[in-house]
A and B are shown apart, each in its own frame.
Chain A
Amino acid sequence: MTTAMATELTPRAAQRRRLRRRFTRRPTAVLGLVGVACFVLVAIFGPVLSPADPDATSYDQIFVSPFSAGHLLGTDDLGRDVLSRLIVGTRASMEAGVLATLIAAVIGVALGLFAGYYRGWLDTVVMRTTDVLLSFPFAILAVGLASILGPSLSNAILALAISLIPTFIRITRAEVLGLREQDYVQAAVVSGASGGVIMFGHILRNCLTPLVVQASVAIPGAIIGAAMLSFLGLGEQPPTASWGTMLSESQNYLSQAAWFAVLPGLAIALATLSFNMFGDGLREVLDPRGDQ
């Protein structure tokens, strides 16, 4: 970890340049970044980009195969344009991935900081709760929470966020336990800093690296999680387009129109892959041992 700090220290401009070079040297990382950028742009401008109204049904154009005129990726069981639905559905997936991770990070990091810095009963309560939550597999926990909260996209996001919190707590606390013994933390105490200033001003800044990496892992996890919850009917509700609901609708027609299942699956896979490749690149850039 000491070496990790050593890289963080360089003056900002030079450091930024070096990190950028280390990132761009990795083709997978760049590819991941491009993919992530595409998905984010599509999520933001989805309604503008979609070639047709994603919710417009047309009963004389059911299961039009891909690459036909007017419907590049064909139509579904109600004659809705699949490409448009995929594009519009991107937003729900990205929202779920990013929002759930953001909520989990904010709460998890705060709890981890307090638990690790103050120790005592607070630490015991937080960590034992974390142990209990972590004893459930991620998917089961998310499904359980989502069904308790009730089916809707916002509840699905909340359920995913809660399921992601324990990991953030663990990582933050582990970092804090090491950093609180550092001389510079003691020096901050000596200079009259309060607990809040020390936690958020001195310690948090030095444990960002593993947290950024964790976030890059959590986002694709949450995207898959959101698709899973929608597939099970616990997320975005039909007729609103989302990748998960599209998958779920497609399963009745696998023998007639397999591509209808393949397309949203491909979208989920590509989004996850992009975030993972981007996250791996980020991890390697921020890991000082990769700096040769």
Chain B
Amino acid sequence: MTPRLQVEDLSVQFATDDGPVLAVDRMSFTVEPREVVALVGESGCGKSVTSMSVLRLLPRPASVTGSIKLEGRELTSMSEAEIREIRGRDISMIFQEPMSSLNPSFTVGFQIGEVLRRHEGMTRRQANARAVELLELVRMPAPKARLREYPHQLSGGMRQRVMIAMAVACSPKVLIADEPTTALDVTIQAQILDILRDLRQEVGTSILLITHDLGVVADIADRVQIMYAGHQIESGLVDNLFAHPQHPYTVGLLGAVPRPDRLSHNGSRRLQEIPGLVPVLRDRPDSCVFAPRCTRATPECGESMPPLEATRPGQYAACFHAGESLAESAKEDLQA
């Protein structure tokens, strides 16, 4: 069976005034129907660029190579008119900032209806009726009254619901959620995640979740791709990967999550940080991108970028020294 979304060997390079910048290097992943796949990484690791290249939203100085297929249809070679048909109907997107993602001059009903009128050819009346259903789907209180309201009359959480309602208006095959909960407070975050979880059941949407919040990933994602400096460095099922991280960066990321019930590896209550910054790549690296910050780095790591290889069943890591060793050695330290 063809996967719903298949990204193969995706590389994105930007031409900047300071020379080329390699934002994404040979990314490959698939998203199956009703699956939630998370792209996780620090700011600037290429996760948003990856999602933008799926919808062909990158500005012109970007050169995108590789293949992106929606149910077998190649998106990278489509004409502008064809990709416009796909946008909002087959693949849609919700953004991080609900406060600015709705047009302040139009009512909620008009904005949801616009997508329906464009892609489904609905009349204004039909679109309004459907908009009420959609607002119910995202659990908006008093959906009918909301249609005539303007975005500034809604709270952040309600705006994000409107954004989701707009995004799923045409029952998209893939929903790209770029930090959908980052700008919301915690209780609203949980509600929004619940709504997203329901959507894949009721609408059958696959979700590509872009986030740096490992808590959100653990909550909702099925599979996860950890990204670092434009490279996939570890991927696998969420449960496996969180329980048994193999790549030192993943180990470090998990160590940086506050957990009140647990001491960190070295026995202190301090959160573990990963020293250093994400490098900006100009070209294909000739050494492991993480090596400068890595505690396990050996001379071998300076010779080539390790490929993504199976470490445990269904789990892959791009590291010459993959394994839970760091965590294990920390445990030993603790016992000693």
Contacts and interface: CB of A to CB of B under 8 A. Distances in A.
Contact of A11 (B88, B97, B114, B149): B149
A8 interface: yes
A190 B88 contact: yes
Contacts of A201: 114
A205 B106 contact: yes
Contacts of B89: 192
A5 B104 contact: yes
A192 B95 contact: no
B150 A191 contact: no
Contact of A182 (B85, B87, B100, B149): B100
A191 B86 CA distance: 9
Nearest to A188: B103
B118 A184 contact: no
B102 interface: yes
Contact of A186 (B57, B86, B106, B153): B57
Contacts of A194: 84
Contact of A184 (B84, B103, B119): B103
14 contacts: A10-B150, A11-B149, A183-B100, A184-B101, A184-B104, A190-B57, A190-B87, A191-B166, A192-B87, A192-B89, A192-B118, A194-B84, A205-B106, A206-B104
Interface residues of A, number: 23
Contacts of B152: 5-6, 9-10
B104 A191 contact: no
A202 interface: yes
B100 A192 contact: no
B101 A192 contact: no
Contacts of A187: 93, 95, 101-102, 163, 166
Contacts of B88: 190-193
B104 A183 contact: no
Interface of A: 5-6, 8-11, 182-184, 186-194, 197, 201-202, 205-206
B210 to A, nearest CB: 13
Nearest 9 pairs of A and B residues by beta carbon: A191-B88, A192-B88, A192-B87, A9-B152, A183-B100, A5-B104, A183-B101, A9-B150, A184-B103
A5 B115 CA distance: 23
Interface in B153-169: 153, 163, 166-167
Contacts of B150: 9-11
A204 to B, nearest CB: 10
A194 B118 CA distance: 10
Nearest to B115: A191
B105 A9 contact: yes
Nearest to A185: B103
B258 to A, nearest CB: 30
Nearest to A184: B103
B101 A191 contact: no
B206 interface: no
B124 to A, nearest CB: 14
Interface of B: 55, 57, 84-89, 92-93, 95, 97, 100-106, 114-115, 118-119, 148-153, 163, 166-167
Contact of B97 (A5, A10, A183): A183
Nearest to A179: B103
A197 B114 CA distance: 10
B102 A206 contact: no
Contacts of B85: 192
A88 to B, nearest CB: 42
Contact of B84 (A186, A192, A202): A192
Given A9-B151, A186-B57, A191 B114 contact: yes
A184 B104 CA distance: 9
Contacts of B105: 5, 8-9, 205-206
Q: Which of A8, A9, A193, A202 counts the most B-chain CB atoms under 10 A from its CB?
A: A9
B191 to A, nearest CB: 21
A234 to B, nearest CB: 41
B19 to A, nearest CB: 23
A184 B87 contact: no
Nearest to A205: B105
B117 to A, nearest CB: 11
Contacts of A184: 100-104
A186 B102 CA distance: 10
A107 B163 CA distance: 34
A186 B151 contact: no
Given A190-B87, A191-B87, A8 B92 contact: no
Nearest to B85: A192
Given A10-B150, A184-B103, 14 more contacts: A5-B104, A8-B105, A11-B150, A183-B101, A184-B102, A186-B57, A189-B87, A190-B92, A191-B115, A191-B166, A192-B89, A193-B114, A201-B114, A205-B103
A182 B105 CA distance: 13
A192 B149 contact: no
